[in-house]
Chain A
Amino acid sequence: MDPLLIALVGFLAMMVLIVVHVPIGVAMALVGVTGFASIVGWGPAVTLMATEPASAMANLDLAVIPLFMLMGSLAAAAGLASDVYNLANALIGHRRGGLASTTIVASAGFGAICGSGVATTATFGRVAMPEMLERGYRPDLAAGSIAAGGTLGIIVPPSSMMILYAVLTEQSVLDLFSAAIVPAALAVIFYMIAIQVKLTMDPEAAQRGERATMRQRLHAAGQAWGVIVLFVVVMGGIYSGIFTVHEAAAVGVVFSFLLLVAKGRFTWNTLIGVLAEASAGTAMIYIMVFGATIFSYFMAVSGAAAFMVGAISGLPVPPIAILVLLLVLYIFLGAFFDEVAAMVITLPLVIPLILSFGYDLVWWGIINVVVIGIGMMTPPIGINVMVLNSMYRSISLGTIYRGIMPFLIAELARLLLLTLFPQLTLWLPSVLH
């Protein structure tokens, strides 16, 4: 059989496996091995089942993911999210829609020490939701700002998603982190605008709060020292060059552990909970990476990527049109599939395409993260929405999705902007180099 035909059959077989609930990493690995075997032979193919996982397990770039997960879990357990929230509240809580804006800013602040969007959503679901409901915020706006703010967990560096992308495409994690800063700032600004637009059209959705006194502000700042120090040590350490990203993650773990103790919140049960959470997440990601790398061998020997690049670059369409089509496809797939899976599965085909168009892989990584963030809040399966719904059964999915709409529009606008102007993303890494 022609290798290209094998690649096509393999791709379809993988889709079928995924649809019948086979975990994505498992489906990719099994199809990858079988496909590779049918082109090269079973003997070499099965060795991939050890060599690829082993090389992922020994990869210190990838090891940054469990470390940042541990850091995020420890920071949440140490109550750092409440500290950021109170500080943001003392500063901007009295403005129109102040608590919603507070949620966005605090999510961004917490996102700067936590690499996970789901964790950020769950954390502010606990911290911000009761506060907003109590002050008469309508549930849709409250839930919308938390679910949208939650995406900042992966949009603001550090971000597990960026690390995964960097490892799978061999880009520098630091480049992705620095490329993400301007887009992340834009996300916060766009979300704040979305809140104001929403309140202009629907003034009853939120009530004004009281202005905090200088004393209260200073007190809140004093309480938030842990987050500030953690942020300065970790991100400051990375960008200033005192340590590498891997070292920063390790320092972050130690530091957030010390904060947990210093804040008097350490118990053995807390520690066990934190370790269990981080280890569960880690295994999932590694199994997906095992599958993705094995599958990419199959795609490589089949020549499918080269064939696709040849076919597509022969089309009389500008590259940007192809890319926009790809993004629409991802968002569409995200409706009933899973954006992360869609991205990981298609990487071996898409990356050569991006390179052949002459685009930057760091830029594409940031675009991918934005798309995945959009997927986290779009129906029917928006993970952040699910998390909130499971925490607050009384707030229906419909209400939350209604609340999401202004933020979703803001995100689509940001995606368009970042797609059309790659320099927004690439400027900062080029300056830092």
Chain B
Amino acid sequence: ETLRFSSFEPPVAHVTKEILTPWAEDVSAASDGELTIQMFAGGSLGRNPAQQLQLVEDGVADIAWVIPGYSPGRFQESTVAELPFLIPSSTAGSPAMWKMYEDGHFKGDFDKLKMLGIFVSYPNSIASRKEVTVPEDMNGLKMRAPGPTMLSALEALGSVPVGGITGPTVAESISRGLIDGTFTQWGAIETFRMGDVITHFNTAPLGATPMLVVMNKAKYDSLSDKAKAAIDKFSGATFSERFGASFDANIAKARDELLSKGTITVVEPDETQLEQWKEAVAIATQQWIEQNENGQAIHDAFVKAVAEAQGTN
């Protein structure tokens, strides 16, 4: 049987080429000919990142790489990973995300689909065309509007959120001065060719981007035991570890390449400054806890899960 795996990313982009495609090959190989997972990259089954979830729900694709942030109101619990100063890396964060799901902290939409993998990106920091060292430097800066989780923090910093800027248009928006900067990480800076337009990168970890690989539940249930076993073998915690390791390796590679050109100054806040940043963006965490059911419990469990995942690495 052939399963259709949709990715909105071009086939040469890191996650699709180095993580999802090899995963699909591994599962196909392990199924002893029961399964062929065919990649539909570059949005050939749906260009819009926000649409990927719907593709799986409708059965247009069987499996898809989904960014919950594009479907506000859904997978709400997973947005805990978007909070600042929680996630140190994809390697630690991704297994922690899976643990949260396994322990039943992620519910709702998570139960409606077959979860194959739950991950987070490397944490986002401030990439800008002006020097940003302390929180006060953010005052008056025009920033690409982030999702709801970090929006309040951005405003608390005195920045001006500018909406309607998509990943592919970030670089030109910065170069033309429409925005002064954005929350992002090295991989995205390379993918979206922001390297030539930003001058500074402040490494304070201001939250990460949750990501999922989901499968249509009915489709999964219809498969033979052998096929299910092949999928299960490479899914869950295993997939999270695989994703995290590869994602972080790519970040390191992208950072080295970008920094070798000498056009970007990395600003690493010291202990005192980090405390200032923590305080300045604390409102995001506070609001998240207030606005989400069991917010405090999920938050605390996540802190613990990340610490555990970090300990085992």
Contact = CB atoms under 8 A, between A and B. Distances in A.
Interface string A147-181: 00000000000000000000000101011000000
A239 B176 contact: yes
Given A51-B51, A244-B164, A172 B177 contact: no
Interface string B192-223: 01001000000000000000000000000000
A165 B178 CA distance: 24
A357 to B, nearest CB: 16
A241 B58 contact: no
B172 interface: yes
A186 B173 CA distance: 28
B119 interface: no
A240 B59 contact: no
A60 B175 CA distance: 21
A59 to B, nearest CB: 8
Nearest to A36: B60
A244 B165 contact: yes
A198 B43 CA distance: 49
Dominant secondary structure of chain A at its interface with chain B: helix
A313 B173 CA distance: 37
A241 B4 contact: no
A171 B50 CA distance: 18
B169 interface: yes
Interface in B39-92: 40, 43-48, 50-51, 54-55, 58-60
B40 A300 contact: yes
Nearest to B196: A433
A151 to B, nearest CB: 28
A190 interface: no
A55 B60 contact: no
Contacts of B169: 172, 174, 244
A8 to B, nearest CB: 19
A351 to B, nearest CB: 10
B58 A301 contact: no
B176 A170 contact: no
A175 B171 CA distance: 12
Interface string B142-176: 00000000000000000000001100110111011
B308 to A, nearest CB: 40
B178 A170 contact: no
B168 A172 contact: yes
Interface residues of A, number: 31
A70 B58 CA distance: 36
Contacts of B58: 43-44, 47-48, 51
Given A60-B164, A297-B45, A433 B172 contact: yes
A41 B176 CA distance: 47
A275 interface: no
Nearest to A170: B47
A300 B172 contact: no
A300 B45 contact: yes
A297 B55 CA distance: 11
Contacts of A172: 168-169, 172
B4 A301 contact: yes
Interface string B7-23: 00000000000000000
Nearest to B177: A241
Contacts of B51: 51, 55
Residue picked from A43, A44, A55, A432, most chain B C-beta under 10 Å: A44
A45 B58 CA distance: 9
B196 to A, nearest CB: 7
B172 A301 contact: no
Interface string A237-268: 00111111011000000000000000000000
Contacts of A432: 172, 175
Interface string A279-295: 00000000000000000
Interface in B277-308: none
A178 to B, nearest CB: 10
A40 interface: yes
Nearest to B166: A61
Given A170-B43, A170-B47, A41 B59 contact: yes
A297 B60 contact: yes
B177 A51 contact: no
A270 B169 CA distance: 37
Nearest to B56: A44
Nearest to B51: A55
Contacts of A301: 4, 40, 45
B59 A44 contact: yes
Nearest to A47: B58
A33 to B, nearest CB: 11
Contacts of B55: 51
Question: Of residues B46, B51, B173, which shows the largest number of chain A Cβ atoms within 10 Å of its Cβ?
Answer: B46
A174 B46 CA distance: 23
Contacts of B171: 433
Contacts of A41: 59
Contact of A47 (B43, B60, B178): B60
A173 B179 CA distance: 18
A244 B47 contact: no
Contacts of B172: 172, 174-175, 432-433
Interface in A291-329: 296-297, 300-301, 305
B48 A55 contact: yes
Nearest to A245: B169
B63 to A, nearest CB: 13
Nearest to B169: A172
A43 B176 CA distance: 46
A241 B178 contact: yes
Interface string A14-55: 000000000000000000000010001101110110010001
Contacts of B54: 47, 51
Given A170-B168, A244-B173, A301-B40, 6 more contacts: A240-B176, A241-B173, A247-B164, A300-B45, A432-B175, A433-B172
29 contacts: A40-B4, A41-B59, A44-B58, A45-B60, A47-B58, A47-B59, A48-B60, A51-B51, A55-B50, A59-B48, A60-B164, A170-B47, A172-B169, A172-B172, A240-B177, A241-B173, A241-B176, A241-B178, A242-B177, A244-B165, A246-B164, A247-B164, A297-B60, A300-B40, A300-B45, A301-B45, A305-B44, A433-B172, A433-B193
Counting from the closest, the 7 A-B pairs by CB-CB distance are A241-B176, A44-B59, A47-B58, A300-B44, A241-B177, A44-B60, A241-B178
